[in-house]
Amino acid sequence: MPVRLRYLLHRLPLPSLQYYTLLSISLLFANILYYHHLIQVNVKNFTNETNINGTVFVTDAKPFSYAYIQALVSILISQTLSLLILVNAIYCSFGLFVKYVQELVFGEIRLVELQRIKEKFWNYAFYKFCFLFGVLGLENLNELVLWISWFSFLACALLLCQLSKDRFELLSVSASIRRRPLVKILCLLISLLAISSILLTICFLVGLKYGGLSIFFFMLAETILLILDICYLLFKYTFQYHIFEQQEQNPLSASNEHRSYMIYYIEFLYHVITLIIDIIHNLQMLFYHQTFMSMSSLIFFMQLKPLFNELTQRLKRHKSYRNAMIRMEKKYPLLTKYDLEQKYMKQNHVSSLDEVCSICWEKFEKARCLP
């Protein structure tokens, strides 16, 4: 997103969640009461038909009956303004639920976390706006509502993932880690993974069947990126929980060298796979309409450059890491347990099994020979 546009979005005088909720509830009830009054006027005129903008709705005289509620919902869905008010109320309820989950799992959000969430939300909303009107070129209101609903679920899951990433940075450097926050976030991530599997099923049942192959791949790329984010965070939190349990049982735990290797390669695979999928997704959006002189095409083309740069830089860093590891293995070979025993016997030590490094406070299970 352009920096100037991001600055303008941050300066928008948006209402607080309380005022937005109050406004949404007021509009919804006013809308329902208006059409309820319109139906009751027709009932008093001894007719069970309500004509709204040329559309005739058959209504029952009994309020709150099944036929009455069905007719009222049909009226609300058929009218453009009423549909927007109803959808806004549903989004407001969904936002309140996400806010409740955030307070239940994470508690109070730090200023840094709030800033990152805002940046991610506006960036996501900007590119999805370009996708809906620049790539798909939507004109039907019902299709627009469906796509916004789809992206709303994805956006909430991505924001919760971003909050989990930021909270992991805090927990990983904290001196005292409690079990309860880790368990809460793990439960949240497992729930998000279950929701993502439902979204993946929707991709196949709805996107592939009714939207075609291109729409299916648009939906599939977003869902796979979300699933990769959740799986990566699940691995990090599970690993952190395992370390926490191990440190509680035995503070002088085994060496973390193999852990660092595993974490590095999983992070490397995660970053490379997500970048490749993101690049392919942007290329599909770029070539979907085969028009390269539009503003949306320019935006997605500009988005490809940082993605390509990040991928090449990541591969270069991995190559440098591999070269450094190979040189270290050659220059500083590992000592066997027999070599360690002989070393400690020369220093008048009985055994090296109980020895602890004075720097990292880990057992001497592995050591390297200095030149």
Answer positive or negative: Cα dihedral of 108, 110, 116, 118: positive
E strand segments, 1-88: 49-52, 55-58
- From CA 343, how far away is CA 351, in angstroms rounded? 10
Q: Given this model, what pLDDT does residue 164 score?
A: 92
Q: Hey, how many other C-beta atoms are within 10 angstroms of the C-beta on 192?
A: 23
Q: What is the pLDDT along the chain (371 residues), one digit of tens a residue?
A: 666 666 666 666 677 788 889 998 999 899 888 877 777 776 555 555 555 555 545 555 566 677 777 777 787 888 888 888 888 899 899 989 999 999 999 888 888 888 889 889 888 988 898 888 888 888 888 888 889 999 999 999 999 999 999 988 888 777 667 788 888 999 999 999 999 999 999 999 888 888 888 899 999 999 999 999 999 999 998 888 877 777 666 655 555 566 778 888 999 999 999 999 999 999 888 888 666 667 777 888 888 889 999 999 999 999 998 998 888 878 877 766 666 666 666 655 544 445 666 666 666 666 666 66
The answer for 2, left when phi > 0, alpha when psi is -120 to 50, beta otherwise, is beta
User: Quick one: which H or E segment has residue 122?
Assistant: helix 111-130
b or e along 6-39 (b: 16 or more beta carbons within 10 Å of the residue's beta carbon)?
eeebeeeeeeeeeebbeebeebbeebbeebeebb
User: Quick one: which H or E segment has residue 257?
Assistant: helix 257-287
- Going by C-alpha positions, the residue among 370, 361, 368, 369 that lies closest to residue 255 is 361
Which tens digit of pLDDT belongs to each residue from 313-335? 999 999 998 998 888 878 877 76
pTM of the predicted model as reported, rounded to 2 decimal places: 0.82
b or e along 50-84 (b: 16 or more beta carbons within 10 Å of the residue's beta carbon)?
beeeeeebebbeeeeeeebeebbeebbeebeebbe
* Beta carbons of 334 and 228 less than 8 angstroms apart: no
* Beta carbons of 122 and 99 less than 8 angstroms apart: no
Which tens digit of pLDDT belongs to each residue from 85-100? 888 899 899 989 999 9
**Radius of gyration of the chain from Cα atoms?**
29
Which tens digit of pLDDT belongs to each residue from 271-293? 999 999 999 999 888 888 666 66
Provide φ and ψ at 356, rounded to 5°.
Answer: -125, 140
